[in-house]
Every structure is written in C-alpha cells, then in structure tokens.
C-alpha cells in the first residue's frame, strides 16, 4: 500500500467541529474535577499528541495542568495487535503523589492501555484516571477504566487526528475511515 492520499477514498467518521466541541466539554469537566490539583497529563505517544494539544488548551489555568509523554508499542506494521506492549519511552518526571490523568487517542482491545495503567499505578500516584478520545467497545478484550471518553465508535480502522496507519495520515484534520469499494 502506498500512502498516496489522493487515491484513497475516505469518509469522515467524526468531523473536526464535532471533535472540537466534544474536547471543549471534556476540558470543562476535567477543569472542575482537577481544580488546584496540579495534575500531570500523561500523553500516550504517538497517537495522543493532537488530542493532548487540543485538550490542554481547554483546561482552565487554575488547574495547573502539566504534561508529559510516554510511548508504548502495541502494533507493528499493519493493524493486528501484537498483544505484547512494551515501554519504548518513559516519563521524565516521577509521578508518586501526583494526580495523573492518562490521555490516550483510542482504546481498542485494551491490552496496551491496561499494561500502561498497571505500570503507572505501581509508581504510587495520588490518583490515576484516564481520558480517551475514541473507544471501540465491540473490540474490547480486557476491561479498562475510562473516566473521560470522547466518542464511542464502531469497529472500523480510523485514521487522522493523530491516529496512523503504519505512521502515515496522522495529520488528517478529521477522524476518517476508508471507504471499501463494496460500500461505495
Ligand atoms: P489496544 O491495545 O488494542 O487497545 O491498542 C490500542 C492502540 O492501537 C492505540 O493506542 C492505537 O495506537 C492503535 N489503534 C487501535 N485501533 C486503531 C485505529 O482504528 N486506527 C489507528 N490506530 C489504532
Ligand atoms: Mg496509541
């Protein structure tokens, strides 16, 4: 497959305005819950960086939110879960006694997210909650707690708004999916 976006027929699953409105709502909710707590938002690389940037700018300044990132490998090439996630890049600050909010682009089977949460929880944060832009409940194989959720989506492979296929298409402004010839 070559990443020539002009030759791919895509449909919008979630448009940019819809996403922006939902992120603003999440930001308000999180701002109320974390007021004055100086939480650490932990973005899961790479997919969450677009969501993180937009979410952070919807958080009230009195919250005192700080940001760090962590990378966990879950998928290699293609779209099948390897089911053996591993930490590729760790946080740059200790999180013991911090209020940690994990910011993730999408939860699919839940394996990588579950592993990440157990690693973070073993470090003794004051609290550990999760904020996930997209959830595919029909794909879930392990239970993971989602405290703030943007959207539930059907079982479709999505691209854009930070999400990739083999590292391509992260810059699409909407959450999109491929139109199969039989659907067109
Ligand atoms: P899980 O361990 O199956 O929950 O894997 C979640 C990870 O797989 C996410 O953080 C994404 O990086 C990736 N992923 C799952 N579904 C999609 C998708 O539809 N598009 C792009 N990446 C996805
Ligand atoms: Mg991810």
The residue among 34, 90, 86, 87 whose CA lies nearest residue 63 is 34
The CA 106 to ligand 1 mean position distance, Å, reads 6
**Catalytic-labelled residue, pool 54, 108, 143, 166:** 108
Within 10 Å of residue 37's Cβ, how many Cβ atoms? 16
The CA 107 to ligand 1 mean position distance, Å, reads 6
Out of 52, 74, 88, 139, give the residue to mutate to test ligand 1, the one with the largest number of ligand atoms within 8 Å of its CB: 74
The answer on pLDDT for 150 being more than 90 is yes
Find residue 50's DSSP bridge partners.
none
**Nearest ligand to the CA atom of 106:** 1
The CA 94 to ligand 2 mean position distance, Å, reads 22
Within 10 Å of residue 119's Cβ, how many Cβ atoms? 15
**41, 54 Cβ separation under 8 angstroms:** no
Task: Describe the crossing of helices 49-56 and 16-33 by its angle, rounded to 10 degrees.
Answer: 60
Report pLDDT for 112: 87
Confidence of residue 184 (pLDDT cuts 50, 70, 90): very low
**122, 64 Cβ separation under 8 angstroms:** no
Report pLDDT for 77: 44
Count of residues making up the chain: 184
pLDDT (tens digit per residue) in 51-60: 999 999 999 9
How far is Cα 99 from Cα 124, in angstroms, rounded to an integer? 10
Q: What SS3 class is residue 176?
A: strand
Report pLDDT for 73: 74
Q: Is there a catalytic annotation at residue 108? A: yes
- Which residues, including other chains, have CB under 8 Å from residue 65's CB and lie 6 or more apart? 34, 38, 39, 40, 41, 56, 59
Dihedral pair phi/psi, residue 21, rounded to 5°: -65, -40
How far is Cα 45 from Cα 162, in angstroms, rounded to an integer? 9
Pick the range with the lowest mean pLDDT from 9-13, 69-73, 120-124, 141-145. 69-73
Q: Is the CB of 107 under 6 A from ligand 1?
A: yes
How far is Cα 4 from Cα 111, in angstroms, rounded to an integer? 31
Out of 163, 166, 168, give the residue to mutate to test ligand 1, the one with the largest number of ligand atoms within 8 Å of its CB: 163
């Amino acid at each position: 497959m070559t990443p020539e976006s002009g030759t791919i027929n895509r449909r919008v699953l979630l448009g940019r305005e819809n996403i922006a409105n939902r992120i603003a709502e999440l930001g308000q909710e999180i701002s109320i819950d974390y007021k004055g707590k100086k939480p650490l938002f932990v973005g899961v690389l790479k997919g969450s960086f677009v969501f993180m940037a937009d979410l952070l700018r919807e958080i009230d300044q009195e919250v005192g939110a700080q940001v760090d990132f962590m990378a966990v490998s879950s998928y290699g090439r293609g779209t099948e879960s390897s089911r053996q996630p591993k930490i590729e890049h760790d946080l740059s600050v200790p999180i013991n006694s911090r209020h940690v909010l994990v910011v993730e682009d999408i939860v699919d089977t839940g394996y990588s997210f579950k592993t990440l949460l157990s690693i973070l929880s073993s470090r003794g944060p004051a609290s550990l909650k999760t904020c996930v832009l997209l959830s595919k409940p029909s794909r879930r194989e392990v239970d993971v707690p989602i405290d703030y959720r943007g959207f539930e989506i059907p079982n479709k492979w999505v691209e854009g708004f930070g999400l990739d296929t083999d590292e391509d298409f992260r810059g699409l402004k909407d959450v999109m999916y491929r139109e199969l010839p039989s659907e067109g």
